[in-house]
Structure 1
């Protein structure tokens, strides 16, 4: 009989893209598998998952708001309601296994599966484990991690280090730099800087680039700029004024952006870090300081320790990140050295590794 699998999680591209990559790998190995994604209502997975060709159900769940305690008043009610919603989802779908990739919906879905004795699998992409995954780990069948050294968070005997699943269109991209630059309407003879703050944007990075744009352009750089909603209008205006600037809220074809780029300024979400390793582009990471347990700093530091990236603190971004970018653009030897070190860290088959482990367990 064909297996039924629930995949829970979302909130950011860093959770959604690995989830879709794992589903694709499972489907390729066993085409008859039936999938159902479970996400949080109002979050980006409710759009992105159907775009990838999968069904998704939304539940009423939210996380703890650390910046405003008063906004947490309705949280207990949402959590209780989500458990009732999950119970109905399980009754209707009858899953054979459940995979959690992180995000608000992961906890109630995996907790229900564990209570029912259904095999549960966790994928922890970050170098510092989230609270929900730590709480779920004792009841998990298997835990897949993006990096080694995760025994401090999870039972060692349950861990398999797989790396982080990178989107296939990035792993398998065969786009020439000239073609990619033409896609963005940029010139072939200039150093190209890709600025990307993750799927939701990054205020400090955007402000730094907006303030220092003339400095970047005067140094001979051209810019591909994913803004998110932060400063999107201002960035779009700069793109109209300067032919060396391409700006948009979201880059759908990231494989083209990476192919066009000589270097990157980015947040340090686990998936961005994994993609940077695969495409081997020198990066200046500006970790988001309010990420849970400051995990983005830990993600970036792992590459910095291997001379495979540069890191700037969020508070120092406005004063120093543009100067660093100009300096890195002028230092071709440094860029080649970082690229070589990144190539040793790249994992291109993480989704297949996860799929194999899951299928071997539930066969």
Structure 2
């Protein structure tokens, strides 16, 4: 799309990679289409976006804001002052930068930024990653120009006629030109002809998932399957040095840099149920066992997992019973070729490889309407 005027965008999203990555991906796609566009990110001043966004080449300003504490504490007492401060500073940022649009991808700062933008008649777009929105996005929705979502049914929750199912921005390049299964197994030093399980848990890892594998590792050793076990940085040293966990059919890794290889090797994937993780898994098209993080905000990981279970695209194991149920369920499922095939086909149908493009199409549609 060719536009005569270069636009200015405020983008707010952070706290976790699940909010930061979509924000950067959207900015990158806008910049690809409109190289002279100007961007200003707004985040929470002590959160990871303050490092990740500049590393991606964008300017960011921080607000003094955090989530609402659920217990009586100094943070709870500070919260009203943080809200007032962030609203005041958001207003100041908007007045000075004069954006043509404000885009929110979630996180503490997106609430005050999008609220003040709407008060100043700046068009706003919300990108909701999860199957059930948080309180902030539900409140912001009524004034949003568009809401881009990854799951069906959210039009019944958001009080807005402009809900668009686009999916979540993901690293599409990870899923293109995958190596063959044989190449991937050789990369990890694993045998051909054996079912392979991939267990992933992010850069830090998942303590409860690691404990579940550890608790029943003898069943894995005795089985005719192979396990690629990405532990994360927190538990890696203890687990990799534990001789009782070592076996030829178990590969314990701190982090996996070649995710293409890992996805290609896997017959079954075990993962948490964060929104971006699920969006990537849908593009992979491999059957998955989800272990939702129970203390995620609004319990959104459980709701994300339930949305896939409803489509017969995943199996869910509750965190509280992981030690007893995860390994037996995984070992049973990985041997059921019929069910593996059906789950893989079902999850593939949910993939949205053009999510970033579709979201940015919506951005420019709104700008065109504003200009008309």
Q: Which residue of 1 aligns with 2:251?
A: 245
Q: CA deviation at 1:107?
A: 0.5
1:325 equivalent in structure 2: 330
* TM-score for both structures, normalised by structure 1: 0.90
Shift of residue 324 of structure 1? 1.0
Residues 326 and 215 from structure 1, CA distance in 2 versus in 1: closer, same or farther, beyond 3 angstroms? Answer: same
Displacement of 1:139: 1.3
For residue 101 of structure 1, what is the aligned residue in structure 2? 105
Shift, 1:305, TM fit: 1.6
Aligned to 2:215: 211
In 2 relative to 1, CA 116–181 (structure 1 residues): closer, same or farther, beyond 3 Å?
farther
Q: Quick check: 239-248 or 307-316, which moved more?
A: 239-248
Aligned to 1:27: 31
- Residues 176/46 of structure 1: CA separation in 2 closer, same or farther (3 Å cut): farther
SS of 1:74's partner is: helix
Query: How far off its partner does 1:231 sit?
Result: 2.5
The 1-side partners of 2:274 and 2:89 are apart by 30
> C-alpha deviations, 1:130-158, integer Å up to 9, x for none?
10001111111111111111123212412
C-alpha distance in 2 between matches for 1:44 and 1:186: 36
| Superposition deviation, residue 127 in structure 1 | 1.1
Give the conservation status (yes or no) of the 8 Å contact 1:60–1:81: yes
Task: Tell whether the 8 Å contact from 1:46 to 1:56 is kept in structure 2 after alignment.
Answer: yes
Could you tell me whether the CA contact under 8 Å between 2:203 and 2:233 is conserved in 1? no
Indicate which of 302, 326, 346 corresponds to 2:351.
Answer: 346
Of 172, 176, 184 in structure 2, the residue corresponding to residue 172 of structure 1 is: 176
Contact 2:198 2:228 in 1 (8 A): yes
Change in CA separation of 1:175 and 1:83 when aligned onto 2, cut-off 3 Å: farther
**1:121-270 maps to which residues of 2 (within 5 A)?**
121-181=125-185, 183-184=187-188, 186-198=190-202, 201-238=205-242, 241-242=246-247, 244-248=250-254, 250-270=255-275
Which residue matches 2:285? 280
Could you tell me the TM-score, scaled by structure 2's length? 0.88
How many Å apart are 1:295 and its aligned residue? 2.0
**Residue ranges of structure 2 left out of the alignment (5+ in a row):** none
Conserved in 2, the CA contact under 8 Å of 1:12 and 1:200? no
- Name the CA distance, whole Å, in 1 between partners of 2:183 and 2:300: 36
- The residue aligned with 2:365 is 360
Q: Which protein shows a greater Rg? A: 2
Superposition deviation, residue 111 in structure 1: 1.3
1:119 and 1:73, CA in 2 relative to 1: closer, same or farther beyond 3 A?
Answer: same
Task: Count residues with an aligned counterpart.
Answer: 362
Q: Following superposition of structure 1 onto structure 2, how do residues 74-85 of structure 1 map, counting pairs within 5 Å?
A: 74-85=78-89
Work out the CA distance in 1 between the residues paired with 2:6 and 2:279.
Answer: 32
Give yes or no for contact 1:171–1:278 (8 Å, CA) kept in 2.
Answer: yes
Q: CA deviation at 1:104?
A: 0.9
3-state SS, counterpart of residue 139 of structure 1? coil
- Deviation per residue, 1:65-98 (Å, 9 max, x gap): 3366454232223333323433343344332111
SS of residue in 2 equivalent to 1:90:
helix
1: distance between equivalents of 2:75 and 2:348? 44
Q: Closer, same or farther in 2 for the Cα pair 1:180/1:21, shift >3 Å?
A: farther
| TM superposition shift of 1:308 | 1.0
> Displaced runs of 4+ in structure 1, greater than 6 A?
none
